[in-house]
Amino acid sequence: MKILALGDCNTLGVQACKYNAFPEHFAQALNAEVKNLGHTMATSREIVNLYQDFYADHDIITLSVGLTDSWRGFKYAPYVLYYPNNVLRKWGRKLVKKYKKWARQLGLTQLLGLDHVTSPALYEKNLRYIIENSKNSVIFLMDTLPKQQEDRNVDIVHYNAILDQIAADYSHVIRVKYYDYFHARRNSLYLDKTHLNPEGYAEVTQRLLAAYQAYKTA
C-alpha cells in the first residue's frame, strides 16, 4: 500500500515532528509506504503542483490544506508560489512582503480592504481537481486545524465547511473532522500557535485510522 500526503506545515511537521507527523504514523499503522509532501506555507495551489509532479498510483491520499488559503491579506497584493520554487520567486516574495508593509504603513490595507490568499471558489476548484483525477485512490479530506489566534478561526471554519460540500459529491472521499476537538485543546496539543506536538499528531492518526476502518466496513 502506498500513501501520498499532501498538505501544509502540519503535514510536514516542525522541530522533532518534521517527517515524524501524522503521515508517517498513519503509514506505520497500516504497514504502508508514505511520501510526505507537506510544504511550509503551502496553499491549495502549491498542492495541485505537487500532486501533478508526484502522484503515481497511490492507494491513499491525505489532503490537509487551508491554513494559508484562508488567511486574509492586502486585497491587491500578488501571490507568489512557494512550489515550484526558484530564485525569481524568492525575490518576488520578498518584494511582495515589502509591498504589504508599505501598504499597511500608508493605510491602504484599511482603505482598500483584505481578501483571502485563495478565494473559496479557487480553493474548492483545486481540491476537486485532485479528487477527480484520483478516482482509484481513497482520499482523506481533513479539517484545517484551528489557530490559537481566535480571529483566524472564523475563516478556517468557513473553509472547513467547503470540505463538507466537496466530500458529499464523491464516494472515494473520506471526510475527517476534528476541528472542535483541537479548538478545545489548543493549549495542550500544539508546539506553538500553529503547529501540532506529538500528542496532537497521535490524535490525528487515531482519527484517520478510525475513519479508514469505518470506510472499509461500510
pLDDT for 75: 94
Whole-structure pTM value: 0.96
CB–CB of 74/114 below 8 Å? yes
Q: Which three cell numbers stand for residue 148?
A: 490559537
**pLDDT tens-digit series, residues 48-83:** 999 999 999 899 999 999 999 999 999 999 999 999
What's the whole-number mean pLDDT along residues 10-32? 97
pLDDT for 178: 98
Q: Which position has the grid cell 473553509? A: 159
Phi, psi of 140 (to 5 degrees): -95, 115
What's the whole-number mean pLDDT along residues 23-43? 98
Answer whether residue 218 shows pLDDT above 90: no
What's the whole-number mean pLDDT along residues 142-169? 96
Mean pLDDT of the chain: 97
For residue 110, what pLDDT band results from cuts at 50, 70 and 90? very high
Question: What is the homologous superfamily of the domain 2-71+119-217 according to CATH?
Answer: SGNH hydrolase (3.40.50.1110)
Q: Which three cell numbers stand for residue 176?
A: 475527517
**pLDDT tens-digit series, residues 135-154:** 999 999 999 999 988 999 99
Tell me whether residue 51 is exposed, middle or buried, using C-beta atoms within 10 angstroms of its C-beta: 0 to 12, 13 to 18, 19 or more.
buried
pLDDT for 201: 98
pLDDT for 173: 98
What's the whole-number mean pLDDT along residues 163-177? 98
The answer for residues whose C-beta is within 8 angstroms of residue 7's C-beta and 6 or more apart is 37, 38, 39, 42, 47, 62, 63, 64, 65, 142
pLDDT for 14: 96
Pick 186 or 144 by higher pLDDT.
144
CB–CB of 139/174 below 8 Å? yes
CB–CB of 33/2 below 8 Å? yes
pLDDT for 182: 97
- What is the domain partition of the chain in residue ranges? 2-71+119-217, 73-116
What's the whole-number mean pLDDT along residues 181-187? 94
pLDDT for 149: 87
